[in-house]
Amino acid sequence: MTVLLAVFAGGALGAAARHLVDRLVHLRADRRFPWGILAVNITGCLLFGLIGGLAAAGWPPAATAGLTAGLCGGFTTFSTFAHDTAGQLRAGRPAAAAANAVLSTGGGLAAAALGLLAASALAG
């Protein structure tokens, strides 16, 4: 039950953080491209890699699940990425759709790897 509550609390915080980051990015960025969700997903991948790497050192299950499945799961969003990419196509911007797909996927993988490397360095 403790793990479930940790995931629930982390998910609530992650979803709220996603909304805030998306809005803050769009205050300064061109709204025709989904910069906010791109920033959220790449940052979330970095955070997930970092947390996952550090948690491998023996964190309690509730902390690990609350931060990975909860916080990172609530923060990042594949469904919004797919919706935004399809929206670019519907708006007649295939280059923007392709750029979003490549940046989100490649950037997310690179950020997750960077997070794991950082966790290894921090763990010694």
- In angstroms, the CA 115 to CA 102 distance is 19
- In angstroms, the CA 121 to CA 124 distance is 5
Runs of H (alpha helix) within 1-93: 2-28, 35-55, 61-65, 73-75, 78-90
Encode the chain (124 residues) as per-residue pLDDT tens digits.
999 999 999 999 999 999 999 999 999 998 899 999 999 999 999 999 999 899 988 999 999 999 999 999 999 988 889 989 999 999 999 999 999 999 999 999 999 999 999 999 998 7
43 is in an annotated binding site: no
76 is in an annotated binding site: yes
Tokens of 60: 């309690």
Helix (H, G, I), strand (E, B) or coil at 22: helix
- Residue 56: per-residue pLDDT: 85
How far out from the chain centre does Cα 36 lie? 11
Instruction: Count CB-CB contacts under 10 A for residue 72.
Output: 23
